Chains A and B, each alone.
Chain A
Amino acid sequence: MRKVARMTISRRDDGKGVAPLRGLVPLVILLAIWQLFGSTHSVFFPRPSLWWDAVVKIERSGTLWPSLVATSETFIEAIIVATLIGAVLGIAIGSVKWGDSAFNPVLDFLRNLPAAAVVPAAAIILGTNSKMALVIVVFSCIWPILLNTRAEIRRVSVVLSNVITNVGLRGFRKQSVIVGSVLPSVLLGVRVAAPLALIVTILAEFITNISGLGSLLVSAQQNFDSPEVYGLLVVAGLLALFVNIVVSLVEAPIVRRHGPSV
């Protein structure tokens, strides 16, 4: 019986990291067809080979890598901050009895605010800089993490707190047991939050023109440089794919230890 359980788990996990890559096949075929039948001079649909040239051109000009780094920095910082704050708040709100009645209206209001609508207010308070972008991104991607953690702690808190008190756990041991029990839910939240965070990072760069992939895209579009727009789109897509793979790699061993969800 143990063997069977192990086998099913590992089989499911093995496929996880590879699946996104295999899933790219149709896209590659589409691009190949585009390359074969596309026109060199089309403004709307330039050939993929031209995209490549455009990206190389940006790289030569020395703006590609700094922009990628800037975008990645904001994005990674935001995910880390959102995970920490979201998990802590989720645990806190979920474990007190009056948590829901006290916080639900505020939480519902905040999480339904569109990120774009928050940008002007954040710009007034913090100015247009990468710190502001960070705040916007955290604000918009924290919800899946916070709400998922809250739901899980609410599900287990009565039994868990009885166990913790009865076996006499205190201090660090107590906290680590609580964190351990919500960890898969936090990570599930991060999985949902990560792509969202990348979207909002690029969106914030769009709106405020702080340097990053988003502002490169805007200037390419404003110059009607369509090969550059498509090229940068692919770069953004690859970044997203990379993020997804990294999140899966971090998540897999933890989820495996927790076993199939109940």
Chain B
Amino acid sequence: MTAMGSSQLTPLQRIELEAVAAAVQAQFGSGISVERGSRGVALAIRLNEANVLAALSKALFWDIGCSFGGLIVEELSDRWRLSYLFLASGSGWIEVVLEVPAAVQAVPSISAEVHAADWFERETEDLFGLRFEGHPRLGDFILHDQIWPEGVAPHRKPQRRSVNVHQMHFRRRPNPDWRPLLVVQDPGSFAMPVGPVYEGGIGESLHFMLETVGEDVLRAVPRLFYKFRAVEKIAEGQQVSDVLLLAERFAATSSFAHSLAFSLAVERICALEVPKRAANLRVLLAELERLRHHAGAITGICESTALAVAASQAAIIEERLLRASCEFAGHRYLFGLNTPGGLRRDFVSRDFENLTGAVDRAVEDLHVLEDRLHFTSSFLDRLEDVGVVDPSKARDLNLVGPVGRASGRGHDLRRECPYGGYDGYTFETPREAEGDGYARLRVLFQEGYASAGLIHQAVERMEPGPVAAPCDSFVAGAALGWAEAPIGSALHWIRLDGSGVVERYRAITASFNNWLGFHAAVEDFAFQDFPIILATFGLSATECDR
């Protein structure tokens, strides 16, 4: 089945930056100026006029074949700076920069062309009050309209510069007339509310409206951002070291990847050279986190199909990995390890031995589990053809991470845009074409094995030396850092002033990206499949909400 699936996959193609530059210049001429990017960005395209934005995005995404990375909005002193990130596979990030005067209140929307930009634009509108012309569904996104009146833009710079985030205050006004936007118009249809306090034990705070006429769910609309804590706003005005704590703690299940991406960005700004040993250790820890995360995701899938024994065994594997992480690094979720310049501590070879022993054992157990699951038809029946996202839809919605890879996407930043010492490592990035729940499960297992392989390689490559370059002085500037978190790509954009104070912090997460894909892709399913679809997507609300 895997072989059959693979045959349908289109091979991944490298996109050359020169070709991109030539193509867009030919098409848009004086509307844009193309220049070499810096600090994490490979190519910067500046827009001279706003109205080519949509066409340019379309050309980059659809004609040239880049994937969409996200939107970074900055409110500079006199102007808005909007930077749309596109990933040229194998070559790096392309930044499309639109700068408009501060007085401007609306910019063109690209959501009709690049669907993946939908939520980014809604987010910006809610938090900055910047409208996107042509976007049909702005508002009621992060600031729920039940609580928040229109016109609140909490991420704008406060009028008085001295006000910090702890003193900011916004008017709230409970709105009893709020109505959900329901689109199913079948006679007798209704929306079944699920959450935010879950009716099924432990779950993150999410709220779903399952639009249905009974039995079949025609559309599932997630209402997220119950957990929105304004991480990006809190970071503003804080020292890098404090923001690092925040970056590490807003999404703990991939905390190492986020602190890594953050550190990489700071290292780019300050031009720090990370020692070899630190780079290898980072690979090791990031892959340990991935392995543990995937074991947890597999547990979730087994639980969702009510296969209790398998769920228990997967949970044991996960807990063992948590314990191994704690034994190795002092923290079960790998907090407090990354720092700009490298790692905060070193390890001795005994540590590595213990760790690889634990990892090997976990892989062995995972193999046994996978074999058994493969022969449990009742389990497979519930996963196969459930929550299908076909490759074209996955491309359309720009799915990233294991979910994207199960739908034929080749998006893996470790390979497409190597960072932090991954070059020189050999590993497989599994891809599947079916895009159903089972494909996602297979991808999780394969990636788990690949991570174990990477851990071994990292241990083998470990060479003595310092684990951190000293980072004592900061330079002003902005840079992009990225990492392939277990759930998918994580992008952190930081602008620092000269004293190491963060002026703008932007975290773009895979969950944010994939939640949009989730609800657009999943239509028309049986109600009892809902937990399974949710589990196979394995998305995190906290990572999305920030």
The answer to whether A and B assemble together is no
Binding site for B on A (CB under 8 A): none
